[in-house]
Every structure is written in C-alpha cells, then in structure tokens.
Amino acid sequence: MDQKLANSMPRILAHDVNIYYGEKHAIKNLSVEIPDRAVSAFIGPSGCGKSTFLRSINRMNDTIASCRMTGEVLLDGKSIYAPDVDVVQLRSHVGMVFQKPNPFPKSIFENVAYGPRIHGLAKNKTDLEEMVVNSLKKASLFEEVKDRLNASGTGLSGGQQQRLCIARAIAVNPEVILMDEPCSALDPIATARIEELIDELKQNYCIIIVTHSMQQAARVSQRTAFFHLGTLVEYGETNDIFTSPKDKRTQDYITGRFG
C-alpha cells in the first residue's frame, strides 16, 4: 500500500457501532477508520449489514422508526450523532448515490442546481450556473448534455442519470460520497464510465462504495471491508483482500464458496 494512504488522517472513524432494527441486531461492535481521498469498498452477502452501516454515515437510518444505534461515528473528528448536528447540513457533507438513479423530475440544470440553492451556496445566477457546469464536468456528463440543460433529467439514459445523481451530490461540495451499489442497474459500458469517474473523484473525495460485484470492488477501491452477519470480518488493502485474505470467511465469500 502506498505510504500516503497509510499515514493520512482518517476522514471517518466509527467506534463500537451497534445498530438494531427492532429486535434484529444488524451491526455488531463495528469499529473502522475510513481514509480520505481513497475509495473504500464494502462487500458481503445480502443482509450482512454493509448498507446499514453505510447509511449510518449520513444518518439515513434516522428515517427508519425501528432503527436504534449505539456507538460513535466521527466525521473529521466530530460526532455526526451529537445533538447539535443539523442532519440536512450533514448530508451536504456526506452525499449519497443510490442503486437506482433517482433524478428529480426536473430539468438537468435544476437537478444539479437544487442543492446549492437550498443550502444558499450561490451568490447569484452566474455563480449558480458555474456551479452546475462544474459539477456536471466533474461527473463527466457535461459534454453529453451541454446542449440540453433544460431537458428533463429523467429522459437521460440510465448511466447518464446515475452520473447526473453524482453531479447533484458533488454540487454541494461534500467531503464524503457514499455509493450504494451505484452500477447494479447499469450496463457494462455505463458501469465502466462510472468506475472511471470514481477513479477521478477519489483525488478529491472520500468515497465509500457498497457493491455486490467483487471484481468492481477489486477494480475501484484501495481498501475493502468484508461484512458477514453484521460483523466486520476483515478490512484491509484491496490488493491483499483479493489475493490473500486472512479470514477463511472472506476467502470463502470472494472465491464463491459461501454455503
């Protein structure tokens, strides 16, 4: 692993996290450090808790009534569950991209402009336009849509819609981008575009991606965490995890032996 990654301060630090859905103990005593300017992949079989933990990083679980959590999640050393934290503000720092692209039924421009507008990030119209264009450029979508910014976002192809959602997430200057299976509804070409984009974005953001594609985790991430039955089984350099994992459960899962 490169030294820079090893020595950099973790952007996110989770300590002894437990999450319950009613009686179900979904995440058990999880502690982890997520580095900045790198991609961390969460892998594991369905129901292992990887998405649950991902959603705790921008408090998406708050919307589920039966969900209870103990432990600490720190973003840049500050607890995101502290009483004084504004959840709306938090989510502008920790953006999220979902499995199915979910653009607003509005124009491409409005999809991206929405965030900066509600957070009051733009000083004036020109400023806002600049933000939209920059975000679309960072999401590698601008060239494809520059002549139809007023067309509806839902009229784009699946892959374009997903990049629009990434542009929308980027527009509010987040530090962290959470991606929950961002390519599972996309064809291989659109998937490759998103992976290329993730590669570029990692220079400036802390990215966490939940994926069911082991190959994708191996391709895009620098660190990989393997979850099983609510436990973080193994977390380490992606290169190590996919060539010589230490835990037998990791080995069994990534080699397709899970019973």
Give the footprint of other proteins on this chain (CB under 8 A). Answer: 214-215, 218, 242-245, 250-252, 254-259
- Of 38, 41, 65, 67, which Cα lies nearest the Cα of 52? 67
Minimum distance from residue 20 beta carbon to other proteins (Å): 30
DSSP 201: H
Give the residue with the Cβ less far from other proteins, 107 or 251: 251
* Beta carbon of residue 249, minimum distance to other proteins (angstroms, whole number): 12
Beta strand residue intervals within the chain, DSSP E = 10-21, 24-35, 38-43, 67-75, 78-79, 94-97, 176-180, 206-210, 223-228, 231-237
Nearer to other proteins (CB atom), residue 24 or residue 257: 257
Q: For residue 134, give the amino acid letter.
A: N
Q: Are 178 and 59 in contact (CB under 8 A)?
A: no
Angle at the Cα of 62 from the Cα atoms of 172 and 228, rounded to 5 degrees: 100
User: How far are the Cα atoms of 100, 127, 205, 242 from residue 178, in angstroms, in the given order?
Assistant: 14, 26, 10, 22
Which residue, 85 or 192, is less far from other proteins as judged by CB? 192
* Comparison of 172 and 220: residue with beta carbon closer to other proteins: 220
With a CB cutoff of 8 Å and minimum separation 6, the contacts of 43 are 50, 210, 211, 212, 214, 217, 224, 225, 226, 227, 253, 254
Q: Please, what is the minimum distance in Å from the beta carbon of residue 199 to other proteins?
A: 19
Please, what is the minimum distance in Å from the beta carbon of residue 231 to other proteins?
19
Minimum CB distance to other proteins smaller for 196 or for 258: 258
Tell me how far, at minimum, the Cβ of 223 lies from other proteins, in Å.
16
* Smallest separation, CB 259 to other proteins (Å): 7
Pick the closer one to other proteins by CB: 63 or 215.
Answer: 215
**What minimum distance in Å lies between the beta carbon of 111 and other proteins?**
35
Q: Is 217 exposed, middle or buried (0-12, 13-18, 19+ CB in 10 A)?
A: buried
Contact residues for 139 (Cβ-Cβ < 8 A; gap 6+): 163, 164, 166, 167, 170, 197
For other proteins, which is the closer residue by CB, 181 or 234?
234
